[in-house]
Amino acid sequence: MTLKGPELVEGYIVPPGYKATVTREKGVTFIGMTRIRSPMKLNPLRDQVLIRRAEAESETASGLIIPDDAKRKSQQGEVLAVGPGRILDNGQECPMRVKVGDVVLIGRYDGVEVDLDGEPYVLVPEGSVLGIVEEP
């Protein structure tokens, strides 16, 4: 559960600009607060999509720790901004199928890596998006 706000979460006040994540394991409640940072304003052109990749796995299923230089890029990411769409040969605009907030799959090495406000992002054309992940 992720909340934004000034809200009361498990007896803790979550100030504006922060999000609280509540996790319950074996009868114990963990509350984490993270500062919400919005990326520098970037408006992608045409059919470009700005994506924040998900964190790469740091541990294998058997419990081995993976060093940073050996981690593979995540193929999953969240769409942060989309362009208006590409222009067809007849001059019409083809609307985008992905929207802000979608969780998508992209190739490991697709797109252009960009650094905005010290955070890494990837800019890819909509055609490089392999699919939209939907929660069941």
Please report the pLDDT score of residue 4 as a whole number: 46
Please report the pLDDT score of residue 6 as a whole number: 62
From the list 112, 104, 103, 118, the residue with the least C-alpha distance to 38 is 118
Q: What's the Cα-to-Cα distance from 124 to each of 9, 16, 19, 53, rounded to whole Å?
A: 37, 31, 28, 12
Q: What's the Cα-to-Cα distance from 75 to each of 46, 55, 59, 132, rounded to whole Å?
A: 23, 10, 16, 12
Reply yes or no on whether the pLDDT at 55 is more than 50: yes
Please report the pLDDT score of residue 2 as a whole number: 47
From the list 53, 65, 43, the residue with the least C-alpha distance to 113 is 53
Please report the pLDDT score of residue 111 as a whole number: 84
**SS3 at position 128:** helix
Reply yes or no on whether the pLDDT at 50 is more than 50: yes
**SS3 at position 68:** helix
pTM over 0.95: no
The CATH number of 48-133, from 3.40.920.10, 1.10.600.10, 3.40.50.300, 2.30.33.40, is 2.30.33.40
Reply yes or no on whether the pLDDT at 20 is more than 80: no
Tens of pLDDT, residues 66-125: 666 655 677 788 898 888 888 888 888 888 889 888 899 888 888 888 887 777 889 999
